[in-house]
Amino acid sequence: MAQQIILADGYLHGTIYRQLLQLHDTNALTDVRVLPLRIYLQQLAQFEPETANLAARIKAVLEEHKEEFPIFFSMFDYPDFIRQVQSFHEDMTAYQIPLSSLPENDATQKELKQIQQYIQDLPASFDLLTELHSMNIDCSNVKYVSSAYGNYADTLYEDWLKSHNAQEYDYPVTLNLPMVSAKKALNARTELEACIQEIITRNLPLDETTVVLCNYEQQYPVWKRLCKQYGLPYVTTCGTTDSSVVLSYCNLVRFLTENSNTAAYEAVCSPWFHHPYKRELAEYIFQFYFTSKELLQPFTHCRTILSPLLNNPDTKDTYRNFNIYLDLEQKAEQARQAFTESLVYGENVYETAYNTLADSIYKNNETERQAFYDIKEYLENNPDLLHDETRTETVLSHIRSIRIAENHNTYGCLCVTDLSHKMFKRQYAYVLSLTQKNYPGFTAQSGIYEETWCAEIPQYPSKRKRHEKHMEDVSWIGQCANEITYSYPTNGFDGKAIEPTPMISELKHAEPWNFIQNDRPFRLDFRLQPKIAPVLFAPDGELSGSISSIEPWFACPFRYFLQSGLKIEENEYPQIETRIMGTVQHAIMEYLVKTYGKEYASQDISVLASLIADYFDPILPLFRRFQGLLKITRERLNEVMQEVLNYLQDMENDTEYKPAHTELRFGKNKNDISFSNGQITLHLRGIIDRLDLRNDNFRIIDYKSSAHALSVADVNKGLKLQLLTYLYTAMVLYPEKTPVGAYYFSMKPVHVSPDPCKLVRKKERYIDNTGDDAFFQEYRKSHQLQGWSFEEDPLLDFEGKHIVGLGKGGKPGKSQKPMHVREWAEDIYTTFLNNITEGNIGCTPVSQTPSTCTYCPYSAICRKQMIPTDSNIGQRNYFMKEDEGDNGNEVDE
């Protein structure tokens, strides 16, 4: 007895085998073979069309005669143009269209005909059909599954099988009329998510459920992400995805052929290369503009430029922040060595890229390994292209088109398909996005071979015939399940209304999906065991850190746990302009105050320009990518600092306080500032930018590169502890001194636009210029010191114009005076120590600081919908008000 052959697409093979095993009540089948249609026909005719790399061969032929195509020659480099030429070449073979039938009514049509003339001898996949017509074969032992190919020409194979006694395979299904319902959703994403929710909540059997995506290309990526979110397993009949081996191969070839920064960056970012410091290497290449050739040499760039500056006692403090780049270079060099050692060189760049990937992780991945074999086949079949440097983009263009198929075995799984991949009948089916645009989805010929061209060819199927065939292909969805749900979105993401397809009458009475949304916030009160918390945060009973490392706990304890407990740190490399502006401003202020004392602000402009040049000139060679940006930054900084010093000179003329200390450091080894709760001792470290003295009084000034305001409520919540801690530190270091104020001074450039003139309406109309005084008053007001004023001191600010809330004669207006600064600071930091000792790491971000979650680097691993809290430590009342209200720089929230 002849073996029975069943022809079907690959995604149906498992289902057919399982059905036959159940039908024959057996565990093995020896007389049945299931094959893809074209594989069987190729084996039958012992003929396989040599269509490998046909696009590249077409392009090569056309390039030889490009002088003959003045209209189209410039399009030969476009892959889409070559694909259209190849597609029509296939159609001519399938429909047996002679060259003489092609129209040539104008110059464009003549060139199109001539293009097909030059490539008519090249092979085509439908050469197999020509070979089959010359054979007399009996196919009575063959059954085939009629598929919705979406291509009119593909039906010619089925027609040949019918004419040679083959029969259509009948998959046993229940012939009852399906139960049909219709639903609608607000948009396409809601539609997909609601469908997933219904499958889960109804607990539908996945092996009896089919989902048809009518707009597969746009819907499937969203479906894929949603299924991952909900943990819903599925398989797809037609899914392909980008290949990591293809991406890596193309990036390696570009790296070996292009000496550019982009090529080097993309090569080290490729999926094939793995190293603990891969990210650092990529950042190093980007920041310092290294090219492919430079990547092959040891990295000494940062060390050469920065080592002399950091080893010099006169400059090491100025450039201390640039230590990060030395660490970056050290890690990048380790990754660079691993990268260069991974390269396996061959006779040319293509062979080198191939050899390099041959022993990579892809050899253990079946789907990626198949893409690797496809690359190898292409290289072997096109040796001439590999030695022509001008054809590199042609080679890469073809290789980029290689994609890998996702799992196509649909048996026993939730199946996701499109209109062109027919599924056997199941119990449940959801047909989504049934809009006028997507269903039935027939598209006319377009591009260079448009409908008007095809209509003039007698042998080419008419548009009507192709439409009828398409409607026959998509009609299977009406019988794809016993229970079918049709659906469509009512609106696009742009807010425009979408109309359902008129082909499905039930959609006129569609009901909204039962879409489940969880809008209820919740709180996750995580807590560590008391035995674990002290060991995690302070293994030796001591905790050392800056003020900015403590504040995250008050904003959100869970963030502090991730950052300081688990040591999960984000590798961030600050923007050049941001880092340099703040660093240089502080360095200039420190130098001027130390060198000139109270006269620092009255120095000549040339001194300022020289200081800025002394800072920028040594590091200009460091950032090759940002030369232009650094030059602009230097000019902008010069203008900003002139503005700042003009204001400070006016301020110094209005006070008797003199700078006594700049960059006053405190830490465990020098000027120790510590707090303890009996189990953990906290050692704070930091730098007080400036401390001014007059007799037994002092004030603190903290320079800021951006605008800063101070709120008592924020300090009470632990969100802004800097000035409070500086006050506490100064009181500890100078117990004999009395604090009169602590302030932020913003060095951010201020843009003031007062009215330059006014119109005075009297008997005679004239213009009265206001002069420079009004402008400077507005400018001075915007630059005032923001912070706290504690004691009345007429010598602090003579006119009361440079400190917010300070009246003439140094009298605080509606000020708030601290009764116990020491107790206030000790209370806040002891509360912090008690909480981490008890293991309080609750996910409770403070509601008054939305940026706590918006800009949190750990938001990807945190529950974002939660009940916000007003404070993680409660409210304190260490400020006693003399008068009700605020003085303009303090806000009680």
Checking if the pLDDT of 501 tops 90, the result is yes
Per-residue confidence band for 315, with pLDDT thresholds at 50, 70 and 90: confident
Per-residue confidence band for 568, with pLDDT thresholds at 50, 70 and 90: confident
Half-sphere exposure of 781 (CA within 13 A, CB side): 10
Checking if the pLDDT of 213 tops 60, the result is yes
State the pairing for strand pair 786-789/511-512.
Answer: unpaired
Q: Which residues contact 380 (CB under 8 A, 6 or more apart)?
A: none
- In this predicted structure, what is the pLDDT of residue 464? 92
Per-residue confidence band for 659, with pLDDT thresholds at 50, 70 and 90: very high
- Return the minimum-mean-pLDDT range out of 260-269, 341-350, 488-497, 773-782: 773-782
Task: Determine whether 418 is exposed, middle or buried from the number of CB atoms within 10 Å of its CB (0-12, 13-18, 19+).
Answer: buried
The whole-number average pLDDT for the span 601-622 is 89
Checking if the pLDDT of 579 tops 70, the result is no
- In this predicted structure, what is the pLDDT of residue 808? 64
Per-residue confidence band for 767, with pLDDT thresholds at 50, 70 and 90: very low
Task: Determine whether 656 is exposed, middle or buried from the number of CB atoms within 10 Å of its CB (0-12, 13-18, 19+).
Answer: middle
Rounded CA separation 267/247 (Å): 9
Rounded CA separation 198/207 (Å): 15
- In this predicted structure, what is the pLDDT of residue 881? 45
- In this predicted structure, what is the pLDDT of residue 463? 92
Checking if the pLDDT of 343 tops 90, the result is yes
Residue with tokens 């998510």: 193
Range of 360-364, 458-462, 844-848, 877-881 with top mean pLDDT: 458-462
Task: Dig out the tokens for 211 from the structure.
Answer: 């989902």
Terminal-to-terminal C-alpha distance of the chain? 90
- Return the minimum-mean-pLDDT range out of 9-13, 68-72, 656-660, 874-878: 874-878
Instruction: List, for residues 662-715, the tens digit of each pLDDT value.
Output: 999 999 888 899 999 989 999 999 999 999 999 889 999 999 887 777 778 888
Please choose, from the candidates 217, 671, 183, the residue with its C-alpha nearest in 3D space to the C-alpha of residue 429: 183
Query: Phi/psi class of residue 800: alpha, beta or left (left: φ > 0; alpha: ψ in -120 to 50)?
Result: left
- In this predicted structure, what is the pLDDT of residue 113? 94
Per-residue confidence band for 818, with pLDDT thresholds at 50, 70 and 90: low
The whole-number average pLDDT for the span 182-207 is 95
The whole-number average pLDDT for the span 865-882 is 61
Rounded CA separation 35/14 (Å): 11
- In this predicted structure, what is the pLDDT of residue 883? 39
Checking if the pLDDT of 481 tops 90, the result is yes
What percentage of the chain carries pLDDT values higher than 70? 87
Checking if the pLDDT of 491 tops 60, the result is yes
Instruction: List, for residues 233-258, the tens digit of each pLDDT value.
Output: 999 988 777 888 999 999 999 999 99
Residue 797, CA distances (Å) to 336, 656, 788, 794, 809 in order: 58, 8, 14, 6, 7
- In this predicted structure, what is the pLDDT of residue 20? 86
Q: 501 and 438 in contact (C-beta within 8 Å)?
A: yes
Mean pLDDT across the chain: 85
Rounded CA separation 662/127 (Å): 86
- In this predicted structure, what is the pLDDT of residue 240? 75
